[in-house]
């Protein structure tokens, strides 16, 4: 009040009418307030910030240099002018309508919020730079998370600004956004998917800057240069730049060659072609020739099993029992239909526990399983089917009784050149 009276008396002394002086004193007081705020802002920038810059340069820590280089403090200093005007506007517009003071303060509050938003945006960028230069987080895709935080910051700031301009509670505006969630999800679909994909890529260490990746489907084969909220930039080997949305790297498959590069070697998978006509049993002359080779000398001097046993051709020997001599006169083959195909293992174990069953096969065709068994007679065979097979949960069975075994022998071992059908099929 005293300042306004002093300005009014000064204007009257200059010959201005009292009514006009009463109107101009508020305007002049507001102009003086703006000039004081601008002067204070210049003092903060030219004196305070320079002093802080000198202190930052003297410290051994690097994070404060990064924060200052990103002009975080400069962004914060922008709050000085609107804050001073907001605090002293009631003095400049005393004895006026409250609506005028409210309007000026509302505009100042919008600038204060904008200053804080720019400060938060720059601060998040500085935090990203600090962590991206540390050894632990250097190659992590943190930029997408920082960009998501910046988007959320500006979204909340926009809601607060709208609430301030319309004189409404920002919480009510946030509640009303619930009805627009479907629209927001459609508008920010790529942003939301990029954010979730960035978290998955970072948490599972699937991708980082500097990795060599390959996605032939999208023509990508090169080094990852940047991972952001909406794009992953890859420099191909021909120096062309390819961009991919992050969710493609999660939903689709890609090759990451970084582990191969870090191992210091590279595995090569190749096929070795062998001429079938060159595979045969060794003759005495061949054995004598190979015995003189240094790499095979230890093999020939040491004890080694028969070649057929060593190759797994001969699995062993056995005594062959004549079933009829011990009272098993009926030989039968039974085709089994299962109720549940998933019960193969359980039925196989149960069949293995029945001593009369000597063979069990999984076959193609109409049967699920095919078994061979011996019984003392037909009545014994019927009791095996009803008492031992049916309780296993079978759908049905079909039985074939063998009257006589006409031929039973092992597969013959023939040289390749003697097997004409085999040779003709290989040449075809």
180-222 pLDDT, tens per residue?
A: 666 666 766 777 777 777 767 766 777 778 888 888 888 888 8
- Whole-number mean pLDDT of the chain? 78
In tens, the pLDDT along 329-348 reads: 999 999 999 988 788 889 99
Work out the number of other CB atoms within 10 angstroms of the CB of residue 183. 10
Question: Strands 255-256, 232-236: parallel, antiparallel or unpaired by DSSP?
Answer: unpaired
Asked which of 264-278, 305-319, 402-416 is least confident by mean pLDDT, the reply is 305-319
**What is the model's pLDDT at position 65?**
67
Element (H, E) at 241: strand 241-244
**What is the model's pLDDT at position 197?**
76
- Tokens describing residue 257: 């060659």
CATH architecture for the domain at 207-263: Roll (2.30)
- What are the strands of the beta sheet with 220-227, ordered from one edge? 241-244, 232-236, 220-227, 212-215, 255-256
- Tokens describing residue 230: 């909406």
Q: Answer with the residue of higher pLDDT: 350 or 76.
A: 350
List the chain domain ranges.
Answer: 2-138, 207-263, 279-310, 323-402
Residue 303: Cβ-neighbour burial (10 angstroms; 0-12, 13-18, 19+):
exposed
Q: How far is CA 159 from CA 84, 107, 153, 155, 172, in A?
A: 24, 15, 10, 6, 10
Q: Answer with the residue of higher pLDDT: 420 or 286.
A: 286
**Is pLDDT above 90 for 328?**
yes
Class of domain 323-402: alpha beta
In tens, the pLDDT along 260-301 reads: 777 777 777 788 888 878 788 888 888 888 888 888 877 777
> Which span out of 16-20, 182-186, 203-207, 312-316 was modeled with the highest average pLDDT?
203-207
- Tokens describing residue 377: 């007679």
Are the C-beta atoms of residues 234 and 224 closer than 8 Å to each other? yes
**What is the model's pLDDT at position 5?**
59
Q: Which parts of 181-240 are beta strand (E)?
A: 212-215, 220-227, 232-236
Q: Answer with the residue of higher pLDDT: 75 or 25.
A: 75
**Is pLDDT above 90 for 383?**
yes
């Amino acid at each position: 009040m005293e300042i306004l009276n002093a300005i009014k008396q000064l204007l009257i002394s200059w010959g201005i009418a009292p009514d006009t002086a009463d109107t101009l004193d508020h305007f002049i007081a507001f102009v003086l307030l703006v000039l004081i705020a601008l002067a204070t802002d210049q003092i903060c920038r030219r004196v305070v910030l320079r002093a802080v810059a000198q202190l930052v340069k003297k410290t051994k820590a690097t994070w404060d240099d990064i924060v200052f280089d990103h002009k975080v403090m400069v962004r914060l200093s922008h709050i000085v002018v609107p804050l001073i005007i907001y605090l002293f506007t009631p003095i400049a517009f005393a004895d006026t309508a409250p609506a005028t003071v409210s309007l000026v303060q509302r505009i100042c509050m919008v600038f204060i919020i904008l200053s804080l938003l720019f400060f938060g945006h720059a601060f998040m960028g500085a935090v990203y730079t600090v962590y991206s230069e540390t050894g632990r987080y250097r190659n992590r895709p943190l930029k997408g998370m920082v960009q998501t935080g910046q988007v959320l910051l500006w979204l909340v700031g926009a809601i607060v600004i709208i609430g301030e301009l319309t004189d409404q509670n920002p919480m009510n505006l946030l509640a009303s956004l619930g009805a627009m969630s479907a629209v927001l999800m459609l508008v920010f679909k790529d942003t939301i998917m990029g954010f979730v994909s960035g978290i998955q890529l970072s948490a599972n260490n699937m991708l980082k800057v500097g990795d060599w990746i390959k996605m032939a489907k999208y023509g990508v084969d090169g080094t990852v240069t940047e991972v952001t909220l909406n794009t992953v930039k890859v420099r191909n080997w021909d120096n062309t730049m390819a961009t991919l949305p992050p969710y493609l790297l999660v939903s689709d498959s890609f090759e990451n060659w970084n582990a191969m590069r870090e191992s210091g070697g590279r595995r090569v998978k190749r096929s070795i072609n062998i001429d079938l006509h060159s595979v045969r049993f060794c003759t005495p002359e061949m054995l004598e020739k190979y015995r003189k080779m240094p790499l095979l000398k230890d093999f020939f001097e040491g004890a080694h099993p028969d070649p057929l046993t060593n190759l797994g051709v001969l699995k062993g020997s056995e005594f062959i029992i004549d079933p009829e001599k011990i009272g098993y006169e009926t030989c039968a083959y039974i085709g089994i239909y299962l109720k549940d195909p998933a019960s193969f293992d359980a039925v196989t174990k149960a069949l293995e526990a029945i001593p009369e069953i000597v063979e069990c096969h999984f076959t193609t065709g109409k049967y699920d399983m095919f078994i061979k068994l011996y019984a003392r007679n037909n009545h014994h065979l019927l009791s095996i089917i009803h008492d031992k097979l049916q309780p296993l949960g079978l759908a049905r069975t079909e039985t074939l009784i063998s009257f006589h075994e006409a031929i039973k022998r092992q597969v013959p071992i023939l040289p390749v050149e003697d097997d004409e059908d085999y040779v003709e099929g290989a040449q075809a």
